[in-house]
Every structure is written in structure tokens, then in C-alpha cells.
Amino acid sequence: MCLVCEAKTVKRTPYTDECIGIDVVISKLATLSTGGVIENPKLYREAEKRLAKAQQAMSRKKRGSHRRKKAVQRVAELHRKARNQRHDYLHQWSRRLANAYETILFEDLAPSNLSRQAKPKQDEESGHYLLNGARVKPGFNQSLVDAGWHHFITLCQYKVAEAGTLQVVHVDPRYTSQICSGCDTVRKKTLSERWHSCQCGYELDRDHNATRNIKALWLGRSLQDAQASREAHA
């Protein structure tokens, strides 16, 4: 038997710029170097009340009973619905980016490390366990799951691989939030400071500033690589 497959040509819309920097954040899914924002719909948050009600109903059912089984299925169904909605949302955005840019730039972050469970710490003198943010961390983890950073980046990688001529690049995240993208000087900020304001007069959202630095780092590295290549072949 001989199978013949016709390869489909990937159609791309003209891109407005060859690369785009992206900063994934908790409050929204991502901030773009263009100044645009991809909002995080917080799908699990919207379903939180329905889930809580379904889980309470499940806890009241006798283990092993038919009603308990139906309640478990209901909870699983609500989780599955939220996951599917999130996948569709991320799929649409990753396709839009792949159609618009040749290079998609992300910070080289590990969401799995950020969402790791906080370990309890014991005070050596009193023997009591110290506060370590464990109560806050589950909500933070849920936001990570809700935003779907890793899934979003994976979908972008899949889309660019499908196109063949595109690429996803991970850039060193160090100081991208602290350096002024207007004058390249260091403007140190605490995590709570969400607005970048530099003495040079350059002001913008902290995350937008970071994405501009992500893009600048990649463009600078690309120029260095191109220059090194020319010198090697000179």
C-alpha cells in the first residue's frame, strides 16, 4: 500500500515587526513589548463558586454510593470545562502571535519552580513553625494554573515549529524589570512597584518596560552573532 500526503502550506499574515518581547505575569496572562496586554480570563476564579458548591455537595455524599460517584463526576466536569476554555483561549493567542511575528521572545522562567509548595520553617528557639506564606501560596499557585504560562509558551513553540520559518527564544530575565528601557540605567524597584519612572523622564508600566528590555537583549545578541559570523567568514 502506498500513501500519498499533501503538505499544507502555512499561510501567514504580514508581520508588523520581526520580533516581540513577552513578559508573563500573574495579574494578566502577558504584557507585550508593543504595549499591548493579553488579559488572563481567570477561568478557575469564575468557576470557583460553582466548584465550591459541587465539592461541598460531594463531601456530604456517602463514599461508594451512586450519588457520591455522580458528585465526583460533576466536580471533574467543572475542572475539565475550565481547562478546555483555557486551552482554546491560549490557542487563539498563540496563533495570532505566530501569524504576526517571526521571533517570539519570552523570559527564561520556570513556572513549575514558581508554583512549588512552600515548606514549613521551624523556629530553633521556640520550636513553633514560622509563617512562610503557605496560606498565600496556594492562591498564588492557582493563579499560575489559571494563567497557564507553561501551556501558553508550549503552544507558541508548537505554532512556530508548524510554520517552519519562525522561532521562540528564551532570554535571560535578570534585570529586565530594573533596567530603564529608555536610557539603559538601573532603576531598582521593589516587587510592589508596578510603575517604572526613571530620572531620564521615561515612564511606563513595569511589565511593559521589561518586555522592551527582553526585545532589546535579543536584538543586541542577534547583532553580535551576525557580526561574529561576518568576521569568521571574512
Cβ neighbourhood burial of 108 (10 Å; 0-12, 13-18, 19+): exposed
Closest C-alpha to 168, from 23, 19, 54, 8: 19
Catalytic residue among 6, 23, 88, 225: 23
Catalytic residue among 77, 102, 107, 125: 107
DSSP string of 114-149, one letter each residue = HTPPPPPEE-TTT-PEEP-STTTHHHHHHHHHHHTH
Known catalytic residue at 6: no
User: Which cell is 20 given?
Assistant: 516581540
Number of Cβ within a 10 Å radius of residue 16:
9
Catalytic residue among 124, 207, 225, 231: 207
Reduced to 3 states (helix: H, G, I; strand: E, B; else coil), residue 201 is coil
Closest C-alpha to 207, from 173, 183, 184: 173
The residues, any chain, with a CB within 8 Å of residue 179's CB and separated by 6 or more, are 185, 186, 187, 213
Known catalytic residue at 205: no
Q: Please say whether the dihedral angle defined by the alpha carbons of residues 153, 28, 188 and 196, taken in this order, is positive or negative.
A: positive
Which residues are marked as active site? 23, 107, 207
